[in-house]
Structure 1
Amino acid sequence: MASRQMFLKGLKVADLKRELEERECETTGKKADLQNRLKEGLENEVTVEEFQNKFLEVERKIATLSLESGEQQRVVNTALKSPGSDIDRLSKPELSSPVEISKIRMKPPQFDGKSSWVNYLRQFEAAARANDWSLAEKATALTLALRGDTTDILQTLSLEEQDDYHQLVKHLEMRYGQSHLEHVYHSQLKNRYQKSNESLQEFEADIARLVRLAYSSTPENVMEQLAVQAFLDGLRDTETRQALTLARPSKLVDALARALEFEAAKQSCRGQAKVRRMEVLKKEPAMKQRLGESPRRYWIRGQFGVGMVLRYVTLGVAILKRRKHRHHLKRMSNTQTNGGE
């Protein structure tokens, strides 16, 4: 570096310009500018010695990386040949210490005595299963979930009964449950019939509610059969009841679906019968004018079995008149023959 500075100071302006021209640099300006410009050019140049030094340094780095890569490959090969070493390391005490896994805690809803106790108990049991609670934890959680007047029941329990989950549920069931009202629901279900302004969906929903309240401890399949029978017995329309009896649905939802389908088909048939009757009534004046008298009326059941349809049988009336006229002529002929004799 010092030798370069001495070299630059010893050069004249003409020498500086010549050196700059050789390096294709600008040659205008003062001597100091020319010196600085030539200095920058010399710094950017790399001598043969410097290039050799850099090349040797790169070779040393490559050799070092090769050694490190070989060492890593040797370690990998050793690990593959002896897999038991990893198992031994995993069995160390510091790695076998218990690890605490955080769980999502499901908070049970609160019970104030105003909502259904049966529905609340199902929600509480679901939260207890999700949290994996023991009986003691369930008793504590249920005690803390009581609100309002329901907390008064704790005054009637001893500490042992309060900590006993089954005893706590038993006392709450006696106070807020509906098991003692089953005979009332039995009577309501027996006397439940579809109202005049009640849809099939509303009637089915109330039947399902009463059956579940009246037979809460009954198996599900038996409860379905009881619900279907109560639904059939309470239907307002006789034809719908007969159609469902023949269909024999096994579930209440199936009975409701069949009833809705039959009601829709019946409404469609009624519309078609009404159209046919209107067509007959429109033809009545022309028929009276052609026959000169009112035709005889015959009541004939429609082909769909819905209602009685009024039909006019004009051909039968004409045939009866013709037979009567022939019978009269025959009698007159017989009378004349007998009189001549």
Structure 2
Amino acid sequence: MASRQVFLNYLKVADLKRELEERECETTGKKADLQNRLKEALENEDENPNTYLFEIAGDINSTLQSLIENGSKMQQKLEETSGNLRGMEQKLVENSSNLRGMEQNLRGMEQKLIENMDQKLLEKKIATLSLGSGEQQQVVNTALKSPGSDIDRLSKPELNNYMEISKIRMETTTAAARANGWSLAEKATALMLALRGDATDILQTLSLEEQDDYHQLVKHLEMRYGQSHLEHVYHSQLKNRYQKSNESLQEFEADIVRLVRLAYSSTPENVMERLAVQAFLDGLRDTETRQALNLARPSKLVDAFGASFGIRSR
């Protein structure tokens, strides 16, 4: 059996008693008493208790068993810690899911709040209008207080583009107006009730007389949101339309045709054709192809489109 050297503080009770017996000292008492008694004995032997090394028998199997036991305890603690971490991870996932649900609820509440604010803003604007006759006032009251009426249906769509304006105007001037026998002023009131979003801001730019004038109201709406307004946008898009680096000739030519028809919808076909050819030539990415086509001066877009393939294949 191998031996090992240890300091006094590392001696077990059995080792302390053995050392005391060898020195014919008393061996009763607690471990602290035994340690103090052994220190005194060492000092009497002119030895330093703090540096003195004791030879004790070493049991390798016992040491290994102790290490194994300590390793098992550490493994058990690690497993417990791992289980706790998994539990925390699960809670985090659940909390994340709850947060997503709360976020969706908040978005829904926000949308409802915006809708309520829009409705209150509309009612406030309508309340400030000069309504004129009592019959016109009755039209407004019917629209605001009678769900399901013709005007109530007109008050729901949002007028933000020309198609919506045309739809509301048609509904107002045909079905609802004819069924209720509205005057132009009453039709103007119904149209104002149909405005939503940015379209309601146009009321701030109109005089009281223009607000009561159905034709003036439609005119101002078309100026801002109608086709004449959009044509300026399409003109600008066509003027600045150039073939993209990853865009094929077919895609580029198709978009030129689309923009020309939108920007010059009332232009004769022959003029529209020349405009399309010029826009196609100006926007070509390949300089050599553009120069060659400008020299060839094709009169039709289909000719310019076909020639561009021939030039590129040379």
TM-score by length of 1: 0.32
Structure showing greater radius of gyration is 1
TM-score, length-scaled by structure 2: 0.34
